[in-house]
Amino acid sequence: MSNSTLPTKQRDHVEAPVLGGLGESVARPDGTLKVTGDFAYSSDLWADGMLWASTLRSPHPHARIKSINIAPALKINGVSAVLTHDDVPGSKLYGLEIVDQPVLAFDTIRFHGEAIAIVAADHPETAKRAAQAIVVEYEILEPVVDADYAISGNAPVIHDGGNITRHVPIIFGPQNLKADVVVKGEYEVGMQDQAPLGPESGLAIPADDGGIDLYLSTQWLHVDRGQLATVLGLPPEKVRLTLAGVGGAFGAREDMSMQAHIALLAMRTGKPVKIVYSREESFFGHVHRHPAKLRYEHGVTKEGKLVYVKANIVLDGGAYASSSPAVCANAACFAVGPYEVESATIDAYVAYTNNPPCGAMRGFGAVQTGFAYESQMDKIAETLGMDPIELRLKNAMVRDSLMPTGQPVDSAAPVAEILEKLRAMPLPPLTATTDGFDVIELPGGASNVTHGEGVRRGIGYAVGIKNIGFSEGFDDYSTAKVRLQIINGEPVVEVHTAAAEVGQGLVTLKGQIARTELGVQRVVVHVSDTQVGSAGSTSASRQSYVTGGAVMTACKAVRDEVLLYAMEKLGHLHPHLLHFRANYKMVNGEIRDGEGQLVSSLADLVKDRVFECTREYRHRPTTPIDPITGQGLPHAQFAFAGHRAVVDVDIETGMVKVIEMASVQDVGKALNPQAVEGQIEGGTAQGLGLAILEEIQVVNGKVKNPSFTDYLIPTVLDMPPVRSIILEYADEHAPYGLRGVGEAPTISSTPAVVSAIRQATGLALTRVPVRPEHITSTL
């Protein structure tokens, strides 16, 4: 699959003292299990005597609930409980940033698929039928489905306070500048789904102390716990969460879905309650990527230097806020892209509508603008008759360039190098269409659409920027507990955090960090739960940075305590320990002095003692942005990635075959090169999906394709090999110099593919996903 250039050196300060430390491509502990189907996901949980839950959802996008009759459901044999909003003991609303979403709908239905009632029964099919037996009387209302209309002031109000969930203006540099050439463009991004392969699922078990234990898939245990405690009317310590096997997340598990529902049913019935969404329900049960309309105006000099960028961005947040306010800020902050500009005037809005709620998805607001600004860069290049790479090079950010927020990019910004390296990579050969050619290699693939007829090749480039970590002054921290003890004569380190492993490889990385810091081979990574402090969310490409930083800090604290203890016990033999503790090393289960002389084995020194430290780690503080000017220091770290896409397009049928994706990304330090490569390939695939395949089709508020039959994600025949180059420019602010990896490739992948299709077809293509009929419509 992959053809990559992995970094091989420059790992001086992350040198691992034992095997399996930082810098190695340590294999994931769950890899083989997942490939062979033996991994236990949250959908595989089981408890004796457990009940199964099912949800009744609204078939209407906007309606008033006149009555709910649960009696027919209660009559069904095997049903233990049927709950509605009346049965929610605490807050009836929840939400990540704005508490606006009903646990179970009351009074008003605001989107197609909104949960109204929940059922627990002795069999999943019984629960499903009982849910269908509930009779809801609706007064159907006209849905507000257009975000522009929603914020126009003329639309019905969806929530008190109006339909503008957030407006983020940015006014940067002198305003109203004139330019030689003005290039305008309007772009549209469709609603993408995270499509994690594991559907929402979990198990809630009522506890003897009146509390509850939940085992589930999520991205942030503690924020779930906080919301659950409020909804259940319990003190947070009585709500205990343990992460179960997560089948991908990509933002879809930031908001609660089934958590409160199974907890309510378990507390009501006194029995364990399990739920597993079907694929169809999963499409209704989580938030999606915000669809967007983006109106741009670039002013440039004749030589191709950006003078100003004006952008008006309207994101459709759907019925509830979710993380819309933060997505909106990201769209505004990254509206210009990785380019220097003298003047920027940006207005980003996120609207309430009666469409499905939108929230976090990989790339988080920067994906939508990435498609728009890179499309604009291509359009400017075409207008000026310039090479699109030259245009980008001319405007590329460098270290200490200013963001439109006025924030300097005070770390590596190798935008030009990314572009140069992409351009220098060899191109794949033309696809053969003679003598024994394979139709699989051509547009349409297995479907036998062309034997070369109508096929044009196109090459496109794009580069993108994304923030790492939570922004705008958020206290973004993680917690790690690290314990060192001797078990059976061997030193063992246990690492315990609440960080959600959702497939990204954090479990592996935590072990690598502990091995490197403590020189101990055996590391046990404790399952993530709420018995330790918050780790923050597995999002914003932040866990390696923040939880990695917490594990590093806790390990260093343990190391310090071990060395202090060594001083106490062995100081008379090793007088240097007193003053040169920092020079001592823990290597291969031993303590050695600065000259490499053995001080003691850990086993001999530690004996029955247990060294345990819990530490929090924070990335450097950020600030809110000014609500009028958008100026501030909102971001902790920036990531840069670029792509070159090579596509073959059958211009007569609109079939697209992406031949190759080449990627260059700065990752600061590749702590696990194979995991880094996996993130780059995955992000590239998800961006490719948005470019040509993936869209939740919503017509008048109703979802038309809630299945993998009609919501198409790339198959192995759609996703080509990725040729990647990984750059390592250490970020001095970050642990080990690392830079979050997961999201950046998703941003540049989409515009690169579309750019390549434009080059092949000569069409403007201002909307993603590009559908085949967009390509053939002009024929």
Partner 1 sequence: MEFFRPATLNDALTLKSAHPTALCINGGTDVMVELNFDRKRPETLLDLSAISELSEWSDQGDSILLGAGVSYTRIYHELAKELPGLAMASRTVGSLQIRNKGGVGGNLGSASPAGDAHPALLASGATVNVASVNGTRAIDINDFYVGPKKNAMNPDEIITSVLIPKARGGQQYSKIGTRNAMVIAVCSFGIAIDSTNKSVGTGIGSAGPTPLRAHEAESYAASHLDWTHGSAVTPEMMKEFGALVAAASKPIDDVRGTAAYRRHTLAVISGRCLKWAWTSTQEMRSK
Which residues bind to partner 1, rule: CB under 8 A? Answer: 278, 280, 440, 443-451, 453-454, 652-655, 657, 692-693, 697, 704-705, 707, 709-710, 712, 714-718, 771-773, 776-777, 779
Q: Please check whether residue 437 is in contact with residue 451, taking contact to mean a CB–CB distance below 8 angstroms.
A: yes
d(CA 358, CA 288): 4
**Residue 509: helix, strand or coil by DSSP?**
helix
CB of 59 to partner 1, least distance (A): 13
Strand-pair partners of 402: 408
Q: Which is nearer to partner 1, 166 or 702 (CB)?
A: 702
Q: Which is nearer to partner 1, 578 or 779 (CB)?
A: 779
Q: Which is nearer to partner 1, 411 or 653 (CB)?
A: 653
Q: Which is nearer to partner 1, 5 or 776 (CB)?
A: 776
Q: Which is nearer to partner 1, 498 or 658 (CB)?
A: 658
Q: Which is nearer to partner 1, 450 or 622 (CB)?
A: 450
Q: Which is nearer to partner 1, 626 or 652 (CB)?
A: 652
Q: Which is nearer to partner 1, 139 or 453 (CB)?
A: 453
Length of the chain: 779
Q: Please check whether residue 137 is in contact with residue 125, taking contact to mean a CB–CB distance below 8 angstroms.
A: no
What are the two backbone dihedrals, phi and then psi, of residue 99, each rounded to the nearest 5 degrees? -85, 90
Strands 590-592 and 598-601: antiparallel
CB of 653 to partner 1, least distance (A): 5
Residue 128 structure tokens: 């499903």
CB of 652 to partner 1, least distance (A): 5
d(CA 403, CA 396): 12
d(CA 175, CA 302): 20
DSSP state of 430: P
Q: Please check whether residue 119 is in contact with residue 56, taking contact to mean a CB–CB distance below 8 angstroms.
A: yes
CB of 447 to partner 1, least distance (A): 4
CB of 443 to partner 1, least distance (A): 8
d(CA 304, CA 309): 13
Peptide bond into 236 cis (omega under 30): no
CB of 286 to partner 1, least distance (A): 19
Q: Which is nearer to partner 1, 73 or 636 (CB)?
A: 73
Q: Which is nearer to partner 1, 477 or 711 (CB)?
A: 711
Q: Which is nearer to partner 1, 451 or 609 (CB)?
A: 451
Strand-pair partners of 102: 93
Q: What is the 3-state secondary structure (H, E, C) of 86-147?
A: HHCCCCCEECCCCCCEECCCCCEECCCCCEEEEEEECCHHHHHHHHHHCEEEEEECCCCCCH
Q: Which is nearer to partner 1, 306 or 658 (CB)?
A: 658
What is the arrangement of strands in the sheet containing 722-727, beginning at the earlier edge strand?
2-5, 722-727, 655-666, 637-650, 455-468
H or E element at residue 302: none
DSSP state of 172: E
CB of 657 to partner 1, least distance (A): 6
What are the two backbone dihedrals, phi and then psi, of residue 757, each rounded to the nearest 5 degrees? -65, -40
**Residue 722: helix, strand or coil by DSSP?**
strand
CB of 439 to partner 1, least distance (A): 9
Radius of gyration from C-alpha coordinates of the chain: 27
- Please report where in the chains the tokens 């994906």 appear, as a residue: 367
The full DSSP string for 543-591 is HHHHHHHHHHHHHHHHHHHHHHHHHHHHTTT-GGGGT-GGG-EEETTEE
CB of 687 to partner 1, least distance (A): 16
Residue 534 structure tokens: 């918050």
Half-sphere exposure of 637 (CA within 13 A, CB side): 32
CB of 659 to partner 1, least distance (A): 11
CB of 250 to partner 1, least distance (A): 20
CB of 138 to partner 1, least distance (A): 20
